[in-house]
Amino acid sequence: MILQFGVLFAFLAAGELVVKLTGVPVPSSIIGMVLLCASLKAGVVKLEWVDKLSAFLVHNLGFFFVPAGIGLMNCLGLIADQWVPIVCATVISTVIIIAVTGWAHQWTRSMSSKMYKRVTKKEV
């Protein structure tokens, strides 16, 4: 289990290092997880090195949202005063995200089918 903690913290530290060196405006934890994912895909890190701890963390993920929920409860007065803009922003951003995701998916599928047709024409 200590090895698994070490691997996860090493990738978290690597993400922190990347942010410090490059100044990229992405959270270091996200960069660390992307590096971990790439390392798992490349076979540099074995799945057995992180599977038990990762399963435990994912299984208890809801527990990590408790501080955010408590912070939200502390702001209920502000939320009650500003509920209309919050709801409008939530609905509008959700619609935009769904639309952009749909368009990106359609564009990606059309591009991949065009590439597939070009590849199959060359083979024939």
pLDDT of residue 1: 83
pLDDT of residue 76: 87
pLDDT of residue 65: 87
pLDDT of residue 71: 86
- The domains of the chain are located at 1-59, 76-124
> pTM for this structure?
0.58
Cβ–Cβ < 8 Å for 28, 34: no
Close Cβ partners of 40 (under 8 Å, ≥ 6 residues apart): 47, 50
pLDDT of residue 85: 93
Q: pLDDT below 50 — which residues of the chain? A: none
